[in-house]
Amino acid sequence: MAVMGSLKLPVLLLPHPLILLPTARLTLPISRSIADAILSLLDDSDAVLAAIPLPAPDSPSEVTYGTAARIARLVRPRNQSSPTQPYLLSLHGIERIHFPSPIQIHQLMDILPVHNVVYPSSEGIPSRDTVEAFKHAALVLLDRLARDSPQPQRKDDWLRVAAIVEGISEQRAAWMADVLVAAVSPQYPDRLAFLAATDVEDRLHRATELFIKQSSIQEVSKKIASAVDESFSRQQKEYFLRQQLAAIQRELQSLQNFPASVGPGFGTGGSTSELDDDDQADADDLADLRRKIEALDVGSEERKVGIREWRRLKRIPQGSVENGVIRSYLEWLTSVPWPSNSTTTSLDVLKDHGFLTRARAQLDADHYGLDQIKRRLMEYLAVVRLRALADAGQTQAQGDTPSTDTSLGTMPTPPMKSKGVKGPILLFVGPPGTGKTSLGQSIAKALGRPFQRISLGGVRDEAEIRGHRRTYVASGPGSIVQALRKAGRNDPVILLDEVDKVGHSNFHGDPAAALLEVLDPEQNHSFNDHYINVPIDLSQVLFICTSNTLDTISAPLLDRCEVVELSGYTYDEKMHIAKRFLLPKQICANGLSDSQLTLTDDALLHVATMYTREAGVRSLERAIGAVVRFKAVEWAEWLDKGNGAVGGEGTAKQNENGNEKQDGNANENAVGKEWRAAVEPHELEKILGIPRWDGEERDREEKRGVVYGLVVTGMGEGGILPVESTALPGTGRLKLTGSLGDVIKESGEIALSWVKTHAFELGITAGRGVDPLKVPDVIDVHLHLPAGAQKKDGPSAGIAMICAFVSLLSGACVPKDIAMTGEITLRGRVTPVGGIRMKVLGAHRAQIRKVILPWANRKDVEHDVALEVRREMQFVFVRTIDEALEAAFGRGALGWRKETILLESRL
- The CA-based angle 654-657-659, given to 5 degrees, is 45
- The CA-based angle 499-457-618, given to 5 degrees, is 90
- DSSP codes, 405-433: PGGGT-PPPPPPPP--PPPPEEEEE--TT
Q: How far apart (Å, rounded) are the C-alpha atoms in residues 23 and 178?
A: 7
- DSSP codes, 429-479: E--TTSSHHHHHHHHHHHHT--EEEEE-TT---THHHH---TTSTT----H
Q: Would you give the DSSP letter of residue 299?
A: T
Instruction: Kindly list the distances between the CA atom of residue 394 and the CA atoms of 352, 416, 420, 421, in Å, as whole numbers in the listed order.
Output: 18, 9, 13, 16
Torsional class of 422: left (φ above 0), alpha (ψ -120 to 50), beta (otherwise): beta
Phi, psi of 638 (to 5 degrees): -65, -35
Kindly tell me the sign of the dihedral angle through the C-alpha atoms of 779, 785, 787, 788.
negative
Task: Give the residue from 72, 75, 36, 82 showing the smallest Cα distance to 51.
Answer: 72
Q: How far apart (Å, rounded) are the C-alpha atoms in residues 380 and 844?
A: 33
Q: Would you give the DSSP letter of residue 701?
A: -
- DSSP codes, 626-642: HHHHHHHHHHHHHHHTT
* Parallel/antiparallel/unpaired status of strands 818-820 and 850-854: parallel
- DSSP codes, 587-635: HHHTT--GGG-EE-HHHHHHIIIII--SSSSHHHHHHHHHHHHHHHHHH
Tell me if residue 871 falls in helix, strand or coil. helix
Q: How far apart (Å, rounded) are the C-alpha atoms in residues 796 and 94?
A: 117
Task: Give the residue from 178, 190, 140 showing the smallest Cα distance to 162.
Answer: 140
Per this entry, what is the length of the chain? Answer: 907
What residues are annotated to the active site?
796, 839
Assign 3-state DSSP to the chain and report helix, strand, coil percentages, each to 5: 45, 15, 40
CB atoms within 10 A of CB 52: 25
Kindly tell me the sign of the dihedral angle through the C-alpha atoms of 31, 37, 40, 46.
negative
Per residue, the 3-state secondary structure of 656-681, as one string, reads CCCCEEEECCCCCCCCCCCCCCEECH
Give the CA count within 13 Å in the CB-facing half-sphere of 46: 9
Peptide linkage before 691 cis (omega within 30 of 0): no
Task: Give the residue from 398, 418, 374 showing the smallest Cα distance to 539.
Answer: 418
Q: Cβ neighbours of residue 658 under 8 Å, at least 6 residues apart?
A: none
Tell me if residue 542 falls in helix, strand or coil. strand
CA 827 to chain centre: 55
Tell me if residue 198 falls in helix, strand or coil. coil
Task: Give the residue from 468, 465, 467 showing the smallest Cα distance to 455.
Answer: 465
Q: How far apart (Å, rounded) are the C-alpha atoms in residues 710 and 698?
A: 18
Q: How far apart (Å, rounded) are the C-alpha atoms in residues 305 and 308?
A: 5
Provide the residue type at 180 as one letter: L
Torsional class of 23: left (φ above 0), alpha (ψ -120 to 50), beta (otherwise): left
